[in-house]
Amino acid sequence: MPSVYLDHAATTPLDERVLDAMLPYLREHYGNASSVHALGRRARFAVESARERVADILGAEPSEVIFTSGGTEADNAALRGVLTAPDRRGSGLVTSTVEHEAILRPAEALRDAGHPVTILTPPPTGAVTVEQVAESITDETGLVSLMVVNNELGILSPIREIAAVCRERGVPLHTDAVQAAGLYPLDVNDLGVDLLSLSAHKVYGPKGAGVLYVRTGTPFEPLVIGGAQERRRRGGTENVAAVVGLAEALALASEAAEVERSRLYALRNRLAGVIRSAFGEAARFNTSMEDSAPHILNVSFPPVEGRALDGEMLLLGLDVAGVHVSSGSACTSGAVEPSHVLHALGVPRETANATVRFSLGRSTAEADIDFAAEQVVAVVKRMRG
């Protein structure tokens, strides 16, 4: 039976070229990058070479790149690092209700610790506006954190315009760019951001590797202490193979970004067209077709004649049919509560529960889209009787 993987926003398969780049550092070049002998020096050279490659892609200085264990650590380090630094502008945070849990949970912890936290609710479009950010910044604000691409809906935020407001007000801006990597240019000077988070496994790299960019001069207190690694900004022995893999994956994805973006838009629109044709208003498209990334399509199936679909059974039915998708963020897929993003946008609970997030990737072809669309139509119609 054929099967189609449409959950690339949760994770991507490891690129063979990335694995080849990593293997020497899992086998013969196993030295600790902090050791002074030959094996250690070789490992150190690999780490610093990877740092230079990442910095070049971001338009940053190598000294501004911190390697982490992934996007979640990078997000946590950004929020806590800036807002607990002795030289911070203020201790307050501005973020939004549709951010990843890796932002919202640290934001709650900071609030519990006494930090002023403002969580903005975006309009139905799903993206916080420049005006909302401008109105929310006060003398207490020490950081604004908003993602480039929403991980559940694919909605794009006006980061450049928001950055201009933050810069004018003297407030650092952090952005979670995990879902934008490999699809959009991420030059930090063009974006105007002061901190930026990335994750390797979203761009066909290894799990357990990420990046936090911190602009020189930005207040920052290390989240992980206990070692001099990463210029004393993140203690712990470097995962050399993962760092090498991250740099290779990011470079490969960045090189192909423009072509891949165009290809995925066509495929996503093809999938949306079939679902819209089959269900009309009996399907709710939570992803805007205009202001969104090309690889994510989020669709809910509202109750019909008072009958709501069981969201868990919907995903299971699609899985049995060979279509591997999710209902939203993989980090919260075990929760019985509907998506916090859809809740924030006012989507009714019974509709939000019956939601599918399709996320496309390099391996996705037209035949995969046609097969997936056929199975979605069949499963939903069967469930609706």
Nearest-CA neighbor of 191 among 208, 213, 169? 213
> Does one domain contain both 182 and 90?
yes
pLDDT range class, residue 331, cuts 50, 70, 90: low
> Does one domain contain both 98 and 140?
yes
Domain boundary pick from 206, 226, 255: 255
User: Taking a C-beta distance cutoff of 8 angstroms, is the pair 43, 25 a contact?
Assistant: yes
At 104-113, the pLDDT tens digits run 999 999 999 9
pTM for the model = 0.96
Helix axes 240-255, 38-58, angle to 10 degrees: 30
State the total domains in the chain.
2
> Does one domain contain both 232 and 274?
no
> Does one domain contain both 247 and 262?
no
> Does one domain contain both 180 and 274?
no
At 179-216, the pLDDT tens digits run 999 999 999 999 999 999 999 999 999 999 999 999 99
The CATH number of the domain where 368 resides is what?
Answer: 3.90.1150.10
pLDDT of residue 329: 57
At 117-134, the pLDDT tens digits run 999 999 998 999 999 999
| DSSP-derived secondary structure letter, 331 | G
| Strands laid side by side in the 284-285 sheet | 284-285, 296-300, 355-359
Residue 331 known to be catalytic: yes
Please give the residue range of the domain that contains residue 263.
Answer: 4-12+257-383
Domain boundary pick from 193, 227, 255: 255
> Does one domain contain both 43 and 176?
yes
Give mean pLDDT, residues 49-59.
Answer: 98
Opening angle at CA 85, ends 81 and 88, nearest 5: 110
Domain boundary pick from 201, 224, 255: 255
Please give the Cα distance from 129 to 347 (Å, whole number): 19
Please give the Cα distance from 171 to 134 (Å, whole number): 11
Nearest-CA neighbor of 81 among 99, 59, 106? 106
Q: What is the DSSP string of 354-384?
A: SEEEEE--TT--HHHHHHHHHHHHHHHHHHT
> Does one domain contain both 251 and 360?
no
For residue 203, count other CB atoms closer than 10 A to its CB: 27
Please give the Cα distance from 108 to 102 (Å, whole number): 11
246 CB-near residues (< 8 Å, 6+ apart): 50, 54, 67, 198, 200, 205, 206, 209, 210, 211
Give the H or E element holding residue 245: helix 240-255
Which member of 39, 304, 331, 378 is catalytic?
Answer: 331
In the predicted model, is pLDDT for residue 336 greater than 60? no
Please give the Cα distance from 150 to 341 (Å, whole number): 9
The CATH number of the domain where 224 resides is what?
Answer: 3.40.640.10
Strand 92-96 with 117-120, pairing = parallel
Please give the Cα distance from 185 to 58 (Å, whole number): 8
Q: Is 4 left (phi over 0), alpha (psi -120 to 50) or beta?
A: beta
